[in-house]
Amino acid sequence: MREAVVTGLGATTPLGGDLPSTWAGLLAGRSGVTLIEDEWAAELPSRIAGRLLVEPTESIPRHEARRLDRVEQMALVASREAWQDAGAPEVDPLRLAVVIGTGIGGATTMLDQYELILDGKAKRVSPNTIPMLMPNGPSAYVSMELGAKAGARTPVSACAAGAEAIAFAADLIRLGRADVVVTGGAEACVHHLTMAAFAQMRALSTRNDSPATASRPFDVTRDGFVMGEGAAVLVLESEEFARARGARVHGRVAGSGITSSAAHITASDPEGQTRAIGFALADAGLSPLDVDHVHAHATSTPQGDVAEAEAIATALGTHPLVTATKSMTGHLIGASGALGAMSALLSVRDGIVPGVLNLTEIDPEIKVEIATGAARETRVRAAVANSFGFGGHNVSLVFTP
């Protein structure tokens, strides 16, 4: 079976408009969470979010941007960076695929256009509304830009979507159905409705007076997640294809595991998460002792962080060094799994693990080793990246050099 290697990386996040600035921000322990100053947020119990540091319209021309939802703009920005980072490989279009996941898709377009109807302005609804709101829009637009004809797929598995996209992309490579796949996740749902809905679930942090310290995975005082937005995209290639063209390789997707908990629509399930990690290890041909690092899904919710720590300890033991970069970016929903995967891959490549921001006192129920304080330089032979979503979606990825 062919191996899938990573040759290109791109991102736009609350920490930076590209991958280098985002990675530097994670290693520096910098928060991208700020106060939402829009008028619509004034009535909400949670008025903080991790918004993009650099607007997509700074690199996408106005005439192009107006036909795209924000999530599509983000996907294009990150994909363009990843494609150039990979060296813009010359590949048969019939051997090039795109797999970009999202949790919601063009939510802002759908809600904004519906408001026009409520205001009696149906004739002002944009003719571009459907292409802008459809969840497969990011994959479709990236595939059209690159001329990818081996498929444009869109996993929509809540907060696991970006990670599931990478798992699917790696399978396309390993099964010989594509030579190159552009993959990852994108999300843009910092909106009145989504913020209000999550707040009604009591899922969001309400530390409005201190946005930068609100997201605090594994801390005993955590009170919910912080909404974020962004995109992270990787270029995967078969090892043979990459070697033949002399491509630089960041690392490899060594294995993946996908499970469904079939238990509760929103609650975390340690058993399902444990199985996902175990399947990913088996797929990679590794043992728990081979894993030095885990990038945790860890959203900073009271129940979720404990459940995941239990799953990690059960599947891998307590020796791997665990980090949670949502402490700095907030929760990027459908893009979070892709950005987490990227962080895990870079930890393998660079031998350094970002520390968990805002962690002042570890919850005594957390029994794994957490990367407290500053980023740690350490050898990482293999890293696991976890991503879990509402609906019982569990995805674990394994990265090696």
CB atoms within 10 A of CB 368: 21
Which two tokens mark 299? 């959203």
Nearest-angstrom CA–CA distance, 56 and 7: 23
Q: Which amino acid, 277?
A: I
Going along 189-339, which residue ranges are E strands?
230-238, 251-260, 293-295, 321-323
Catalytic residue among 191, 250, 293, 331: 331
H helix count then E strand count, the chain: 13, 15
Report the alpha-carbon distance of residue 96 to residue 350 in Å, rounded: 28
Nearest alpha-carbon partner for 333 in 206, 163, 79, 170: 163
* DSSP bridge pairs for 235: 8, 182
Question: Using CB atoms within 10 A of its CB, is residue 222 exposed (0-12), middle (13-18) or buried (19+)?
Answer: buried
35, burial (CB in 10 Å: exposed 0-12, middle 13-18, buried 19+): middle
Catalytic choice (159, 191, 250, 293): 159
* Euclidean distance between the first and the last CA atom of the chain, given in angstroms as a whole number: 18
Q: What is the distance between the alpha carbons of residues 154 and 135, in angstroms, rounded to a whole number?
A: 7
**Is 297 an annotated catalytic residue?**
yes
Q: Is 189 a catalytic residue?
A: no
CA atoms of 242 and 244, how far apart (whole Å): 5
Catalytic residues: 159, 297, 331
